[in-house]
Structure formats: structure tokens, C-alpha cells
Structure 1
Amino acid sequence: MGSEHLQNLDANRSHEPVGIPLNRPPGTFSPSGGEGRDEGVRFMENQMRSKCFFIGIGLSPGAVPQHFMALGRELARRGHKVVILSWPPRAEIENHDGNPAVWSWPSSRPTRFKDARFLHKLTRQYRPNCFVANFAAVNVMTLVGALCRVPVRVCWHHTLTNQIALDAGGLRTSQRFQILRKSCLFRLATHIVANSKASADDSHRVYGVPDRRCHVSHFSLPDPRAGDVDLNGFQADTHLVCVGRLAGCKGQDVLVKAAAKLKSQGVPFVLQFIGDGPMAGSLRTLASDLDVADRCQFLGNLSHETVLAHMARSAATIVPSKSEAFGLVCVESLAVGVPVVASRVGGIPEIIRDGLDGFLVQPSEPGVLAEKLALLLSDSTLRRKMQQSARERFLSTFEQGRVIPQQADWFEQILCAA
């Protein structure tokens, strides 16, 4: 099994959360309230009782593992048994008696036969009702889940195919084989969850997933300002930040070119790149060649808390991606009340409202990007309005206390229908 690197919504798009028809008399359940709601709640409680969920997610630092741990804790709070299957193996995080329980896969990535054997053994022990597979765990969990007849098998689709192609300079033969293999495995899943409508479109177009089996669910963050935490300290009117892996699909080369245009226009700014990756060297060279090395700071990888602090002290977060499945960096910026200037690609327009929370621009156009950055840097009134809008957008749409219960509701519904 090879490597796999391979959510609220407006009513006008084709991919909406799938309505799950429950096996019940008509009129007994109304998720939005009204007549029959009390009977519906009792029906759901009787149907659900206690179920068992296996969630495959690598518990490394970051917002995505944090999201799935929050989902696991919410399901456990509702009386279900939750088992987190993490990688790489780390004895210090294992807790086989907790709820959620935490087990480690035998391999550094769960892609080998011994991982399938390990999962089969745990499946016989816990008798799970639902598998939730992410990233490298998708292959083994989907295959073992189907063989063991686990009733609900959910695969999370995180990455757009053209992101992979952009990073690799085109799809290689091995990657085309992985797409074919993933298409076959997706047929064994009962549900595909896409992290954006763009990912849902990708799963349909590339992997042949029918709309009825695809559900869109956005990622969330806990409120970094909860408990009156002041992340901002001072906010520098001339600081800009770009957070992400330094890779082809992320478009940092376009941002360096935009920085050169800003400098030539006499706009004062400091641009911080947070992250590392294969393009780190070439980006430093480009900054030097365009005479903006004095304006560009490459800070490397930082802790999540430090990243949020840098964002909170910036005038704007820039996301110049050429392809992006969701754009969690955008949510992080909204969470600390900082506007975003981002490419109008993939799932980003599902997060950022152009002219309200920031600006959306066409990808790979440094001139347009520089124009929007100059406007935001020069207009403090506009910047304050966007800061307030960004914070409100986060609290209403992406704050973890809102999103996680909705996702837990969906999982309980599909288990009732299974």
C-alpha cells in the first residue's frame, strides 16, 4: 500500500451535505425543529445507544489532528466508544483504556501488511460500527473495513489532484497508479467526506464518486481568543505573513514577485514566510534577484501557537495558492481577526468573502495581488472593518464548538441509516 497525500455551505452549489433518510415513520424527526422534534430525539436516542468509532489520524501537532480529536471527544461525550489510531508509533500517547482510547499503528505510516493485521485484530476486539480514515490510513482502513463488514466506512478527501500535479511538475506514472487504486478503494467506502466543495468536485471528476455518497464538511479550530487571551499584543500596520509549505502549488513565487512591485511603488512592508519545503532555496534566490531580500523574512517551521501569534500581529495573511483543497490557513487568520488576501481557487472562496473578510484575486497574477495588498496596507479604516468581519466570520462558521457537534450529528444519522 503506497503513500496517500491524497466543510455552512451556500444553497447554490451542487455538493451539499447528504440528507440521510432514517428508517422511521414519516414526521417523527425534524432536525431543524418544529412538530415531531421530541419524538425524533427519542427515536435517535433509542437507535444510537452506544456505537464504536475508529478514527485514523496521525496525532502530530496541527489543526487537522486537533479537529479529529475534538470530534472523538464529542462522540465519546455522547456515550460512544472512540478509538484513535495514530501514527507514527509513540508509546507516550497510547491510552488503551481511555475514551477516546489511543492506539499506535505498528508502522510509521499505516501502509503495510502488519498494519492490516493489527487493524483486523482490533476490529475483532472492539467490533466497531464506523471507520473514519484519513491520509495514509485510507487504504488499509477501507480495505480491512470492507473485508470485516464494518457497516459505515468513511474516507476523508483532503487534497486536490492538481495540487499533486503542480508540486510534481505533472502526474507521474506512479501517481496515476495511485489515483486508479484510490478510485477502486473509494468504491469500498460507504461515504466520502470532502473538506470543501472543490474537493467534492475533485472526488467526483477524478475518482468517480457519485454525489449521493459525498458529503462536504469543513474543518474547524478552537477559538484562540477563548478565555480573553490577547494574541495581538501590538498590530504592525506594515507586516504581512504567508504561512504554508514552500511548494509549487502554494504560489509563494507569485508573492515574491508581488513584493517586488510593492517595493518599486514605495509601499513600506515586511513580508514573513512561515514554513519550509522544497522551494525554500529557490524562493530565497528569487527574493535576492528581485531585490526584495531585505523585505522578505524566511522563518521556517514554527509551533501552531507561534504561527497564530505572528498572524495576529500582521496587517494581512496572504494565501497565493495556485491550487488549494480547503485553505485552513485562511480559517486560522479569521480566528485571530486578520483579513486574508488569497487566490480565488479551490475551497478558498468557501472561506473568504471577497471585500468583507479580505480580497480574492486570480492566481499567478502578481500585479493584481500587489494592488490589493497596497490598498489594504494604506487604508486603516478598511483594514479595521475587515478585521471585525473576519473575526465574526470565524465565530459563526468555523469555530470548533459549532462545527464539531454538527459533524457528530451527521455521524449518528448515517449510523442510524446503516
Structure 2
Amino acid sequence: MSDYFTDLANTFSKKYKVLVFTDVKTAQNALSRDVIVKYWPSGRPTQVKDFIFFYKEIRKFKPSMCISVFGAVNVFLIISFITRVKARIAWVRTLSTQFPQRKILLCRKALVYKFATKIIANSKATKFDVSDKYFVNKNKINVIPNAVRDYNSVLPEIKTDRNKIVYIGRLHPSKGVDVLLRALAILIKTSPHVNLDIIGAGSMRSELELLVDDLKLKNRVSFLGAKSKNEVLTCLRGAYCSVVPSYSEAFGFTVIEAMSVGTCVIGTNNTGIKETIQDNKTGLLFETGDHEMLAEKLRHIYSNQNFRDKLALNGYRSFLKFYEVSERVKQDFIFFEDYM
């Protein structure tokens, strides 16, 4: 469970009986004692036994609202529709392009979304994607952005390493890591001491390692693999810049994570990323796939640290206003309660 959904459940539990269905055994540690935690029979709730289990629980507790996200959406919407739950809400946080574009899968999801009384998208890009791909009426979709805690105030003091750039995410063709590597090859001509840390795993690692060799960046790039949340945040906090070079993102979660620790962010000018970063104000944007433009943006912040520091500060202030968990939950709780 993310910080956001944990806090939302705890906030609801002050006035209502709340059940959380999860496969994470440690989820209960962060939840209020008033929250009832149920664990799916399967690791991912897609089996027949999960549907039967959920049906029995819904019949027992008779909720007035069901909120679902990720792998639980299908079982939540189908069973809550059958049992006539008044408010049936599905949270969509991923673009359809991240899934196999098989017609039968798109049709199945379109049918499932018809059982929802409300769809929550994490960005305008996600809203349009849900509407276009799954034929959901736009009036049925509300946008509520992702949120994380204010980690800047709880992490230990860490000095910014001027020579450190960081990428965090999957090593997948859609993430544009190759674009970042080509930009780095240009940047080191004027900033020869810059290094890139790549945090994450994926199918492209071998291909990217070959590209690193071809670009003669072996001494400048470190593949660190998957890291814990605290390790990721610590790495972000110490970086001079975080780069999000994705070809598409529903929201750009790593953007607000970087902002939450006061780190400057550069991202692609597309989908959810451009909704989160205000160019030249809270971060920098470059054209999708354009490694030369990315290199120019990186050169700009390396030639003007005051400008970089201003972007980082403005990014943090924007995060506090729009994407910090406690503030986000206060607003969203009112929205959900009014909808019940």
C-alpha cells in the first residue's frame, strides 16, 4: 500500500468502518487499529477463489463504497456491481500503452469499467487515455494526482553531489534510458566529471550495457539494480538532478518523489510528465526522444547552479502545494465523502 492509500484509509476510519484488501502482509503496520485488513487468497486477486472470497466479504459487511486500484479493479468492480454497492470507484494510474494492445483485453477492460460509477485518473493524460481506449464518458472520470510524503523533512542531511545524475525506473524501451545515455555522452564533453546512477531492473539492461560500451561511458554509468524505497530517496536527495526520459507516463511518480526531497527534475514534454513539471519554473522539459535537447538542458543547469537550485526549490514548493500526501488526503476525503 502506498502512503496515500494508507493515509486515506486511516482518515476514513475516523468516521466509518474501513476494510482494506491487500496481499502485503506488512500493510497493517501503518494502518489504524480501527481498519480491518483482509488478505487475498492469491498473490494477485485474479483467480476464481479471489472473486468468491470477495463476494462473501461484501455480502457480510455491505459497504456503501468500494475503491479499487491496480490488479484489484476487476474483482472489485464486478462483485460490487453484482452486490449493488452504491459507489463503485476504480483508480487508473497506468496508461493503456503499458499493457499488451490485444483487442480482447481492451474490450474486457472496457466492459469492466462500465460497472464503475466513477473512474479516478491520476492525470489528464490518463483521463483521455481511459476515455479513448475504453470508451468511458469523460464526465464519469475525475483527475486526482498521485501523492507522496514530504521526505525532505525526514531524511538525514545529505550533501548534493554536483557530479551525480540519477535515473529511477524500469529498464524498458518505453522509459527512454537510451536517450539519457546519449545525452550523457554529449554532456561529459563539457562536464567530464559527471556520473549517472541507474536504479531499476528490466529486460533492457543487457542492451543498455552494450550502449554504454559503444558510447565509451563505462566509467561514467553505474547500474545499481532495484533498491529499497529509503535507498531510492537517499540517492535522489544527494543527486544534482533526476532525469525522467520516458516516451509516455500516466503521471510520472518519480518526478514528485524527486521534488519531495528537493532535487531538480528534467523530464520529457509528454503525457503526465508535462502536467507535473512547469518548464523553467519547477523543472525542465525536453522533447521526447531528443537526446541533444536533453544534453542542452543538462548543460544549462551545470553552467548555472543558481538556476538549478531555484528550480529545485520551486519544485519542492509545488510538491507541497499539490502532491504532498496529508494535504492531498484532506481534499480527497471531502470529495469521496460527498460522493457516498
Q: Same fold (TM over 0.5)?
A: yes
Q: Cα RMSD between the aligned structures?
A: 1.9
Is contact 2:63–2:85 with CA below 8 Å preserved after alignment? Answer: yes
1:86 counterpart (16, 22, 31): 22
Q: Does 1:289 align with 2:226?
A: no
Specify whether residues 231 and 164 from structure 1 end up closer, same or farther in structure 2 by C-alpha distance, changes over 3 A only. Answer: farther
Structure 2 residue aligned with 1:338: 263
Structure 1 residue aligned with 2:68: 133
Secondary structure at the aligned position of 1:315 is classed as strand
Is contact 1:95–1:101 with CA below 8 Å preserved after alignment? Answer: no
Q: CA shift at 1:315, angstroms?
A: 0.9
Amino acid at match of 1:390: G
Secondary structure at the aligned position of 1:156 is classed as strand
Amino acid at match of 1:159: T
Q: CA shift at 1:263, angstroms?
A: 2.4
Q: Deviations over 1:120-150 (max 9, x none)?
A: 1111111111111111111111100110001
Structure 2 residue aligned with 1:365: 290
Q: Does 1:347 align with 2:272?
A: yes
Q: Deviations over 1:206-264 (max 9, x none)?
A: 111111110100111111133xx354421111210111111111111111111111124
Q: Does 1:108 align with 2:35?
A: no
Q: Deviations over 1:92-135 (max 9, x none)?
A: 95999942211101011100111011001111111111111111
Is contact 1:254–1:366 with CA below 8 Å preserved after alignment? Answer: yes
Gaps of 5+ in 1: 1-58, 60-64, 166-170
1:180 counterpart (96, 107, 110): 107
Q: CA shift at 1:362, angstroms?
A: 0.8
Q: CA shift at 1:388, angstroms?
A: 1.4
Secondary structure at the aligned position of 2:285 is classed as strand
Secondary structure at the aligned position of 1:188 is classed as coil
Matches of residues 114-193 of structure 1 in structure 2 within 5 Å?
114-164=49-99, 171=101, 175-193=102-120
Secondary structure at the aligned position of 2:243 is classed as strand
Specify whether residues 214 and 206 from structure 1 end up closer, same or farther in structure 2 by C-alpha distance, changes over 3 A only. Answer: same
Is contact 2:256–2:323 with CA below 8 Å preserved after alignment? Answer: yes
Is contact 1:94–1:104 with CA below 8 Å preserved after alignment? Answer: no
Amino acid at match of 1:212: N
Q: Deviations over 1:23-61 (max 9, x none)?
A: xxxxxxxxxxxxxxxxxxxxxxxxxxxxxxxxxxxx3xx
Specify whether residues 218 and 257 from structure 1 end up closer, same or farther in structure 2 by C-alpha distance, changes over 3 A only. Answer: same
Distance 1:388 1:142 in 2: 41
Secondary structure at the aligned position of 2:188 is classed as helix
1:76 counterpart (5, 9, 13): 13
Amino acid at match of 2:121: A
Distance 1:269 1:225 in 2: 24
Amino acid at match of 2:45: P
Matches of residues 3-18 of structure 1 in structure 2 within 5 Å?
none
Matches of residues 384-403 of structure 1 in structure 2 within 5 Å?
384-403=309-328
The list of structure 1 runs, each at least 4 consecutive aligned residues, that deviate by more than 4 angstroms after superposition, is: 91-97
Specify whether residues 347 and 95 from structure 1 end up closer, same or farther in structure 2 by C-alpha distance, changes over 3 A only. Answer: closer
Count of aligned pairs between the two proteins = 340
Distance 1:138 1:92 in 2: 19
Q: Does 1:217 align with 2:152?
A: no
TM-score (norm 1): 0.78
Q: CA shift at 1:390, angstroms?
A: 1.3
Distance 1:122 1:308 in 2: 37
Distance 1:176 1:100 in 2: 39
Specify whether residues 97 and 220 from structure 1 end up closer, same or farther in structure 2 by C-alpha distance, changes over 3 A only. Answer: closer
Q: Decide which structure has the larger Cα Rg and report it.
A: 1
Structure 2 residue aligned with 1:208: 135
Amino acid at match of 1:254: V
Q: Deviations over 1:271-325 (max 9, x none)?
A: 1111111111111111111111211111111111111111111111100000100
Structure 2 residue aligned with 1:317: 242
Specify whether residues 266 and 399 from structure 1 end up closer, same or farther in structure 2 by C-alpha distance, changes over 3 A only. Answer: closer
Distance 1:339 1:372 in 2: 12
Specify whether residues 186 and 402 from structure 1 end up closer, same or farther in structure 2 by C-alpha distance, changes over 3 A only. Answer: same
Gaps of 5+ in 2: none
Is contact 1:330–1:340 with CA below 8 Å preserved after alignment? Answer: yes
Is contact 2:10–2:32 with CA below 8 Å preserved after alignment? Answer: no
